[in-house]
Amino acid sequence: MNYMQLIENASSEKLRGGYYTPRKIADFILKWGLRDLLYTDILEPSCGDGAFLKALKSLGYCFHSLTAVEYNQVEAEKAMQVEIGDVVNADFHAFCRDTDKRFNLIVGNPPFIRYQYYNEEQQQIAEELFQKAGLKFSKLTNAWVTFVIGCSLLLQERGRIGFVVPAELLQVGYALQLREYLSNFYNKINIISFKKLVFEGIQQEVVLLLCEKDGSSNHLIDHLELKDADDLATLDVNKLGCHSKTIDFRSDKWTFYFLSQKEIDLLEHVRKNNMPTISDFADVEVGITTGANGYFTVPQSVVRSYQMEQYAYPMVGRSVQVSSCIFTKQDWKNNQTNDAKSNLLIFPPKAREEANEGTRNYILNGEILEINKGYKTRIRDYWYVIPSIKISDALMVRRNNLFPKLVLNKAKAYTTDTMHRVFIHPNVNELAFVASFYNSVSLAFSEILGRSYGGGVLELMPGEAANIPLPYHAANADLLDKVDSMLRCGMDIEKILDYTDDVILRQRAGYSTRQIQTARDIWKKLSSRRLERGHSEIKPKKKIKVYTIPEGQVGYQLSLFEPNAIYKCKNDNSLLVATCRQGTKEWITSHYLYNYPMTEQELAAHPELLEVRHLIIVHKKSFVGYYRVSKAFKADKSWLRDHDYPIKSSRQKSLATYIVYSLEPTDTIPPAINTKDWSLVIGKGVKMNEGPTRA
């Protein structure tokens, strides 16, 4: 399928990378680019409907020539109507390969499109452009990277590019060689980032990339952060870059340049003085890949109900389950009592045939949930046998919030890929290893080495975690219990660092109070920037999936466990599989109630729903519980409200009636479900065709 077909089929702005530049940003980039140029040949490589062209026109700048390229015909025609310069309806890849023209100012907001959506010819040209720039092409790269490289190749001896690009530029692996390329190719780079998202309606964080080639031998860089696009109006383009730092070709991420020179010097000092890193004391590996965490990691109630005690092993799967830097047996027991997902199901190959009835049913029900068809599970000899099961000495949280956590695994718990497994080398004091991590230098480097994601998350992958400097000292073992109790009582991390920095960094690693303060400043600056970003995010509205069941197909089997639907057993009216949302799971299990919104007519069409006596409740790919129904009745919204039901969605507000089941725990083993015996009763968000899909 070629790119244009895709546009037609999906007609999505996202696919086209069609988010247009806000006027304030276009104005600023032009002001910067044209500040002292008299004879300008301008290029806009993907002009859309002409945001930059409109800005140029209304600001009344003088220039020598203006060429604008746009692939989408409709948009190109809109840009032509701006009536400025030459608008070419073409693919930039081909334009870039074929043109002899060279420019001294290139501005724009290139598309954010993965190469799988471009046709082969475009991919081929992209590869050629990469080669021309001396770079290696990978299909994993994104169109905006090719646009930046291609445009650089179209620059005159001296010239500027001013682009709106994804903030990923600063840190992602696939943009690493682009960063290196830009660092070498340009003499001055200015990056402007924003505390608040500047594009309405999209989550993509963007930065302005302003690069200049001036014929000098300098390689300078500066990173400035503004509150939002409004701040650009008062930014003096002539003073931009006066705090530039010399590019450090060894540092592979540009988040670094957000720091002051003094702060960069401290980081350099840590490196030059060869502070060891985590990898000198331990191996960091991803946690166990179950292939379906929701299915293989279960709360005690599910273990009990399917009688799988023999196959359930202690595990810790989520950062909220770890409150400190030591994970004890008691912590695990508390998680069990709170019915957290604290068990890992380790089945032997013969379990499907030879285990007890409950376990067999659980495995069979996994096949109904299509766990066996998962990306990871389907390649196993036995889909339910998880490979590479090892318990680690310590755990490292992969996605962190306030600060990263390294945790001693005293409980000897397994962990899934939500945490990394840390295998401490022999002869290293385990307590000292963990305690040594809690200091300002290690935390500052965690922010530098990790990536910050939406929601203010700091993600550390094993390779990044391994590179974090660790001021290890065997004597630090004596700090662990104290740090543990401080963390447990919820003490502010800064207070904890006041204590640990003094012992770990000052007394035992020889850092001065001033250096420690600088390290702390770096950590605070980077972590608060990350966290603030999380707060300012506009959460996209969750789309409700609509499932269309193909005509003439008994398609309901495929969507059997999709949320927003309930199913009944064809042969047995007393058994119902019901799905629930994340937000109502807790209400169901704590109140022993299940409800489903239905109109009076729907209820009248399905009187059998009042006959239901057993309920299997499923959330996505995991089993929530199996219950006996003691009562089935109709209720209205106020009844639900009186029973603490978390009523939120507008959809529920409009539906006045609900069927409610009063539940009771049961000792009976949940039955194995066979898809053939089940049919969809009714589903919110499920578009029903006439015919076989109606139960």
Ligand X SMILES: C[S@@+](CC[C@H](N)C(=O)[O-])C[C@H]1O[C@@H](n2cnc3c(N)ncnc32)[C@H](O)[C@@H]1O
Q: Interface with ligand X by CB under 6 A: which residues?
A: 16-21, 46-48, 51-52, 69-72, 75, 91-93, 108-109, 111
Give the contacts of 471 (CB within 8 A, at least 6 positions apart): 275, 276, 436, 439, 441, 442, 504, 505, 508, 509
Taking the least distance from each CB to ligand X, the nearer of 47 and 386 is 47
Query: Could you tell me the smallest distance in angstroms from the CB atom of residue 178 to ligand X?
Result: 17
For the packed helices 440-449 and 261-272, what is the interaxial angle rounded to 10 degrees?
100
Query: Could you tell me the smallest distance in angstroms from the CB atom of residue 146 to ligand X?
Result: 9
Query: Residue 689: exposed, middle, or buried by beta-carbon count in 10 A (0-12, 13-18, 19+)?
Result: middle
Query: Could you tell me the smallest distance in angstroms from the CB atom of residue 113 to ligand X?
Result: 6
Query: Could you tell me the smallest distance in angstroms from the CB atom of residue 112 to ligand X?
Result: 7
Query: Could you tell me the smallest distance in angstroms from the CB atom of residue 82 to ligand X?
Result: 12
Give the contacts of 672 (CB within 8 A, at least 6 positions apart): 360, 361, 364, 365
Taking the least distance from each CB to ligand X, the nearer of 164 and 411 is 164
Query: What tokens does 334 get?
Result: 């508390």
Query: Could you tell me the smallest distance in angstroms from the CB atom of residue 195 to ligand X?
Result: 21
Contact 225, 452 (CB under 8 A): no
Taking the least distance from each CB to ligand X, the nearer of 93 and 405 is 93
Q: Tell which residue, 136, 144, 139, has the closest CA to residue 161.
A: 144
Taking the least distance from each CB to ligand X, the nearer of 93 and 253 is 93
Compute the Cα dihedral for 474, 479, 485, 491 and give only its sign.
negative
> Whole-angstrom Cα distance, residue 496 to residue 46?
51
Taking the least distance from each CB to ligand X, the nearer of 232 and 480 is 232
Query: Could you tell me the smallest distance in angstroms from the CB atom of residue 118 to ligand X?
Result: 7
| Radius of gyration in angstroms for the set of CA atoms belonging to the chain, rounded to a whole number | 30
Taking the least distance from each CB to ligand X, the nearer of 106 and 340 is 106
Residue located via tokens 């695994």: 409
Query: Could you tell me the smallest distance in angstroms from the CB atom of residue 277 to ligand X?
Result: 39
Query: Could you tell me the smallest distance in angstroms from the CB atom of residue 127 to ligand X?
Result: 14
Beta strands in 463-601 (DSSP E): 547-548, 565-569, 575-579, 593-597
Taking the least distance from each CB to ligand X, the nearer of 232 and 629 is 232
What is the spatial order of strands in the sheet that 297-298 belongs to? 297-298, 343-345, 312-316, 414-415
Give the Cβ contact number of residue 609 at 10 Å: 21
- Stated length of the chain: 695
Taking the least distance from each CB to ligand X, the nearer of 93 and 160 is 93
What is the spatial order of strands in the sheet that 399-400 belongs to? 399-400, 457-459, 451-453
Query: What tokens does 667 get?
Result: 């000792």
Contact 466, 277 (CB under 8 A): yes
Query: Could you tell me the smallest distance in angstroms from the CB atom of residue 236 to ligand X?
Result: 23
Phi–psi pair at 295, nearest 5 degrees: -95, -40
Q: Which residue is nearest to ligand X (CB)?
A: 48
Taking the least distance from each CB to ligand X, the nearer of 147 and 626 is 147
Taking the least distance from each CB to ligand X, the nearer of 46 and 343 is 46
